[in-house]
């Protein structure tokens, strides 16, 4: 049994809601601004790289490079708008998250109580942006193998951020209901949806680049290369479907953007290779995967609508543990005295 002395409770609250809390909020603010600046730079450079007549920084447009190294799974020209739109979405998500550094609750700055996304979480964004910018310049200079290795880092880092957010939101679920408003919790789910869009789109780009490497560096030929790429994508979709519906049900709650962005990417491959007279086998494969993604999305939405675990009343949630957040001692003392928690476990460790 763990009973916290009043002196420890007061000391914990004083430390976190005082100067230390302000310093922590400033760190959050600085890291978010740095992430936003790097994402905006990436967005501008991506737009320039997709310009029909590139000048200055880039020698060739991304679409011209796609025509220089074509495969059956190359994306259509209109996918360039999505390349620019996704950094814009994540920039807006960061802007909304920046508001959390200005808001306060009863225990201090909202961004720190509980600290779902610590400052180092946002510092991953500049690394992702640097790798994406390097990929733009290397692919412009026809360094397709080096560009692939750089591009591979983007989905790995973004998926790491996404699963880190899943784990922390679930870990602090009780405290989020105690200390944060519904709009604040919405911002965390908004950030997860932005990360999911970025992760899966980067994965699609990495798989397309892998197809280019296999065809123009390793010497394999289409349609084998493109069929392999689509099969890898199908396996990734299947793995995600199993995770969100059977294994990580308690972690993946409100991600509505995964299957729509997959359908958009597959649609771009489909429209690029579509010819009514002679339909290529891999174009049919793309259409099949679009149908599979649609079915998976419907199953996920149906499961979410039927799941009652996410509408549990706050007073029935498990009691938070003192190690979950530096300011949790105050929450325990206050809400225990008000009788808002079923504390039959007496905060057992």
**How confident is the model at residue 341, as a pLDDT?**
46
Phi, psi of 274 (to 5 degrees): -75, 125
Residues 6+ apart with CB under 8 A from 260: 297
**How confident is the model at residue 338, as a pLDDT?**
54
Question: Considering the chain, what is the average pLDDT of its residues?
Answer: 82
pLDDT band per the 50, 70, 90 thresholds, residue 6: very low
Condensed to tens digits (0 to 9), the pLDDT of residues 196-241 reads 999 999 999 999 999 999 999 999 998 899 999 999 999 999 999 9
- 287 vs 185: which has the higher pLDDT: 287
Find the mean pLDDT for residues 262-284: 89
**How confident is the model at residue 50, as a pLDDT?**
87
Find the mean pLDDT for residues 33-53: 92
**How confident is the model at residue 242, as a pLDDT?**
96
Condensed to tens digits (0 to 9), the pLDDT of residues 173-193 reads 888 877 777 777 788 899 999
**How confident is the model at residue 3, as a pLDDT?**
42
pLDDT band per the 50, 70, 90 thresholds, residue 317: very low
pLDDT band per the 50, 70, 90 thresholds, residue 20: low
What DSSP string describes 211-247?
Answer: HHHHHHTS---TTHHHHHHHHHHHHHHHHHHHIIIII
Do 135 and 210 contact (CB within 8 A), yes or no?
no
62, two tokens:
């991304």
Integer Cα distance of 228 and 225 in angstroms: 5
Condensed to tens digits (0 to 9), the pLDDT of residues 108-135 reads 777 777 888 999 999 999 999 999 999 9
Integer Cα distance of 201 and 88 in angstroms: 14
**How confident is the model at residue 309, as a pLDDT?**
57
**How confident is the model at residue 16, as a pLDDT?**
41
> Alpha helices, DSSP H only, in the chain?
6-17, 19-49, 62-68, 79-98, 119-122, 124-140, 144-171, 173-179, 182-216, 224-242, 258-273, 281-306, 328-338
**How confident is the model at residue 112, as a pLDDT?**
78
Helix (H, G, I), strand (E, B) or coil at 271: helix
**How confident is the model at residue 186, as a pLDDT?**
82
pLDDT band per the 50, 70, 90 thresholds, residue 17: very low
**How confident is the model at residue 306, as a pLDDT?**
86
Find the mean pLDDT for residues 253-258: 90
**Is the per-residue pLDDT at 322 higher than 80?**
no
**How confident is the model at residue 188, as a pLDDT?**
87
Condensed to tens digits (0 to 9), the pLDDT of residues 138-167 reads 988 888 999 999 999 999 999 999 999 999
């Amino acid at each position: 049994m763990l009973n916290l002395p009043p002196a420890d409770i007061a000391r914990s609250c004083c430390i976190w809601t005082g100067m230390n809390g302000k310093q922590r909020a400033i760190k959050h603010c600085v890291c978010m601004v740095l992430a936003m600046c790097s994402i905006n730079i990436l967005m501008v450079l991506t737009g320039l790289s997709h310009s029909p007549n590139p000048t200055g920084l880039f020698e060739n447009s991304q679409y011209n490079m796609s025509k220089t190294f074509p495969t059956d799974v190359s994306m259509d020209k209109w996918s360039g708008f999505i390349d620019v739109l996704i950094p814009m979405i994540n920039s807006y998500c960061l802007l909304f998250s920046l508001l959390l550094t200005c808001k306060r609750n009863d225990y201090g700055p909202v961004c720190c109580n509980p600290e779902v996304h610590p400052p180092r979480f946002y510092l991953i964004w500049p690394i992702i942006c640097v790798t994406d910018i390097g990929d733009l310049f290397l692919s412009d200079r026809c360094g397709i193998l080096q560009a692939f290795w750089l591009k591979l880092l983007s989905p790995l880092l973004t998926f790491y951020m996404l699963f880190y957010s899943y784990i922390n939101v679930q870990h602090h679920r009780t405290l989020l209901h105690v200390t944060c408003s519904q709009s604040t919790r919405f911002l965390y789910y908004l950030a997860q949806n932005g990360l999911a869009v970025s992760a899966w789109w980067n994965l699609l780009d990495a798989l397309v680049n892998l197809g280019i490497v296999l065809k123009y560096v390793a010497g394999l030929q289409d349609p084998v290369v493109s069929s392999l790429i689509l099969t890898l994508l199908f396996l990734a979709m299947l793995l995600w479907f199993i995770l969100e519906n059977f294994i990580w049900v308690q972690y993946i709650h409100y991600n509505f953007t995964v299957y729509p962005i997959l359908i958009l990417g597959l649609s771009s491959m489909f429209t690029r290779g579509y010819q009514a007279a002679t339909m290529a086998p891999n174009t049919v494969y793309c259409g099949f995967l679009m149908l599979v993604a649609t079915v998976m999305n419907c199953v996920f939405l149906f499961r979410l609508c039927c799941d009652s675990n996410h509408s549990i009343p706050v007073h029935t949630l498990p009691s938070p543990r003192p190690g979950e957040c530096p300011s949790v001692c105050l929450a325990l003392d206050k809400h225990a005295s008000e009788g808002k928690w079923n504390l039959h476990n007496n905060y057992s460790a």
